[in-house]
Chains A and B, each alone.
Chain A
């Protein structure tokens, strides 16, 4: 119980938990998905599930952009990086993700020019400093990160920089949520909406979930009490037979998002007809590509990209974890063959991946594990 004891607002948390418990209908089970990996992290770190009644299950969603990049895209990036005229630049989070032939870190150790950057603007500076090389930025992330790539492209265009391009893997959260809602595998009662993505897109894009699927959505902050408060708001909606979008994180998230950011994305990028997500498969209109107007900065047009689809390793069950069908500890290789030191799947690589978060915190105090493992065993046997 080490982490739970360290939680400074434990009394407030218990009071909220009591209010949540009072709203549970006898005999009913509740499943809420937290979409964002940052929320998953808070839940495990503070052992929030231990505060909740047994009737409530939190399901971890696909909101970790590193986790959902399919292996084929990484292999494509590796192919680009191997060109002698290219300098590949990437966020640190992406460096350890295993492709078919190792990670960016492995390639770098073998002499490939791959540089870790904090910001796409750092890639821009590398491009200015290396006019005889072609600098490619490995762009990943949801709508939280896409504006930064967009603004960097606009800056490169304004400067007339000819050797900077983007290998665009930006994805959009709404189609992924819709794919999960349409999946027969999972019955959810509501969503804890992502915090930082919503600072960009606002709360309106979630309205279809409340309207068409009749599920409540509460956009939440990252503090433990934020998450418990959001679960309370979800339970209150259900108890009153409401399904609405509510904003628990209004101190940071404006209802209409960030119009400047949305405009920058719209100027430089457009929706792809479809994109493959690890674990979720191909989802229509779920990712962004560089607009034709900025074709000179589109690495997929400038260079030959193999575009081969690569199946995930057989043992890896990241797909089921990303869809919320399996809990991390229910994966066959969790904590044995797959650990943060030697990850097989993406969910174990990123600090916001559900498996890494659970590995680092959850297993230390969680009391319901044997029960859940038994449930997983019986489910596997029955299907």
Chain B
């Protein structure tokens, strides 16, 4: 729950401006980007995702570093990705 996971914004939701589809390690899910309303991310940009919400924008190098940290964590990260896979955000 505490982990911030990097995801790449793939596309914006056509009807809901607070939602965007992101790619996290090949898993594509909708997340809420409302907390970045002051400077919304665009497709191709990276965000740090926390319990379904983009908390901050990051660059690709930071995303790679964050991902390496997470993969090193092991089980907790796998649990987080599994939870994201089950996520129902709409």
| Interface positions of A from 337 to 351, Cβ below 8 Å from B | 350-351
The answer to whether B48 touches A37, judged by C-beta atoms less than 8 angstroms apart, is: no
Q: Give 1 or 0 for each of A140-151: 1 = CB within 8 Å of chain B CB.
A: 110011011001
The answer to whether B35 touches A264, judged by C-beta atoms less than 8 angstroms apart, is: yes
The answer to whether A148 touches B69, judged by C-beta atoms less than 8 angstroms apart, is: no
The answer to whether A141 touches B2, judged by C-beta atoms less than 8 angstroms apart, is: yes
CB of A198, distance to nearest CB on chain B (Å): 10
The answer to whether A64 touches B2, judged by C-beta atoms less than 8 angstroms apart, is: yes
| Interface positions of B from 26 to 81, Cβ below 8 Å from A | 32, 34-38, 48, 50-53, 55-56, 58-59, 62, 65-66, 69, 72-73, 75-76, 79-80
Interface of B is mostly: mixed
Whether A199 is near chain B, meaning CB under 8 Å from some CB there, is: yes
* CA A355 to CA B59, docked complex, whole Å: 33
* CA A285 to CA B36, docked complex, whole Å: 28
Q: A141's contact among B1, B58, B59, B73, by CB below 8 Å, is which?
A: B1
Return chain A residues, CB-CB under 8 Å to B50: 144-145, 148, 196
* Minimum CB distance partner of B49 in chain A: A119
Whether A55 is near chain B, meaning CB under 8 Å from some CB there, is: no
Return chain B residues, CB-CB under 8 Å to A251: 58-59, 62
Return chain A residues, CB-CB under 8 Å to B83: 91-92, 116-118
Return chain B residues, CB-CB under 8 Å to A350: 2
Return chain B residues, CB-CB under 8 Å to A196: 2, 4, 48, 50, 55
* Minimum CB distance partner of A356 in chain B: B76
Known A-B contacts A91-B1, A116-B83; A258 and B35 likewise in contact (beta carbons under 8 Å): yes
User: How many A residues, CB 8 Å from partner?
Assistant: 45
* Minimum CB distance partner of A200 in chain B: B55
The answer to whether A121 touches B55, judged by C-beta atoms less than 8 angstroms apart, is: no
The answer to whether A119 touches B2, judged by C-beta atoms less than 8 angstroms apart, is: no
* CA A199 to CA B6, docked complex, whole Å: 14
Whether A307 is near chain B, meaning CB under 8 Å from some CB there, is: no
The answer to whether A119 touches B37, judged by C-beta atoms less than 8 angstroms apart, is: no
Whether A76 is near chain B, meaning CB under 8 Å from some CB there, is: no
Whether A260 is near chain B, meaning CB under 8 Å from some CB there, is: yes
* CA A240 to CA B6, docked complex, whole Å: 37
Whether B15 is near chain A, meaning CB under 8 Å from some CB there, is: no
| Interface positions of A from 69 to 116, Cβ below 8 Å from B | 91-94, 116
Whether A41 is near chain B, meaning CB under 8 Å from some CB there, is: yes
Return chain A residues, CB-CB under 8 Å to B84: 118
| Interface positions of A from 121 to 172, Cβ below 8 Å from B | 121-122, 125-126, 140-141, 144-145, 147-148, 151
Return chain B residues, CB-CB under 8 Å to A116: 83
The answer to whether A122 touches B87, judged by C-beta atoms less than 8 angstroms apart, is: yes
* CA A258 to CA B69, docked complex, whole Å: 24
Return chain A residues, CB-CB under 8 Å to B59: 251
Return chain A residues, CB-CB under 8 Å to B79: 92
The answer to whether B87 touches A252, judged by C-beta atoms less than 8 angstroms apart, is: no
Known A-B contacts A92-B83, A222-B66; A144 and B2 likewise in contact (beta carbons under 8 Å): yes
Known A-B contacts A145-B1, A148-B51; A118 and B86 likewise in contact (beta carbons under 8 Å): yes
Whether A47 is near chain B, meaning CB under 8 Å from some CB there, is: no
Q: B62's contact among A122, A148, A252, by CB below 8 Å, is which?
A: A252
The answer to whether B51 touches A119, judged by C-beta atoms less than 8 angstroms apart, is: yes
CB of B8, distance to nearest CB on chain A (Å): 16
Whether A42 is near chain B, meaning CB under 8 Å from some CB there, is: yes
Q: Considering the complex of A and B, which 5 residue pairs feature the smallest CB-CB distances, nearest first?
A: A119-B52, A351-B76, A118-B83, A91-B1, A118-B87
Q: Give the A-binding residues of B (Cβ under 8 A).
A: 1-4, 32, 34-38, 48, 50-53, 55-56, 58-59, 62, 65-66, 69, 72-73, 75-76, 79-80, 83-84, 86-90
Q: Give the B-binding residues of A (Cβ under 8 A).
A: 37-38, 41-42, 45, 64-66, 91-94, 116-122, 125-126, 140-141, 144-145, 147-148, 151, 196, 199-200, 222-223, 251-254, 258-261, 264, 350-352
